[in-house]
Amino acid sequence: MALSTGRFGPRYGTRTKKIVAAIEAVQKGKLNCPYCERSALRRVAAGIWTCRKCGVKFAGGAYTPRSATAEAIAKSAQG
């Protein structure tokens, strides 16, 4: 894998790498909106995300758009 997290070395766990990769994706503006699936997701505050395309605003993780809590809420909302 040629992930940009390679410089952090092997002492960081997979979870940390995933979070770092997500943070870098946010900073580069490459996160996909979970609603319209276009890469227009922006973090407006800690845990608050908004999509520039469809205008949706939702709560997620502080550094990634989907936290474990957000996943649970999304699943219960779909049911």
Do residues 30 and 43 lie in contact, with contact meaning Cβ atoms separated by under 8 Å?
no
The distance of closest approach from Cβ of residue 6 to Zn ion in the complex, given in angstroms and rounded to an integer, is: 30
Closest CB to Zn ion among residues 20, 22: 22
Number of alpha carbons in the 13 Å side-chain half-sphere of residue 68 = 1
d(CA 31, CA 26): 6
Residue that has been written with the tokens 């979870």 in this structure: 15
Task: Give me the 51-70 binding string for Zn ion, x by CB under 5 A, dash otherwise.
Answer: x-xx----------------
Closest CB to Zn ion among residues 61, 65: 65
User: In the complex, which residues of this chain contact Zn ion (CB under 5 A)?
Assistant: 33, 35-36, 51, 53-54
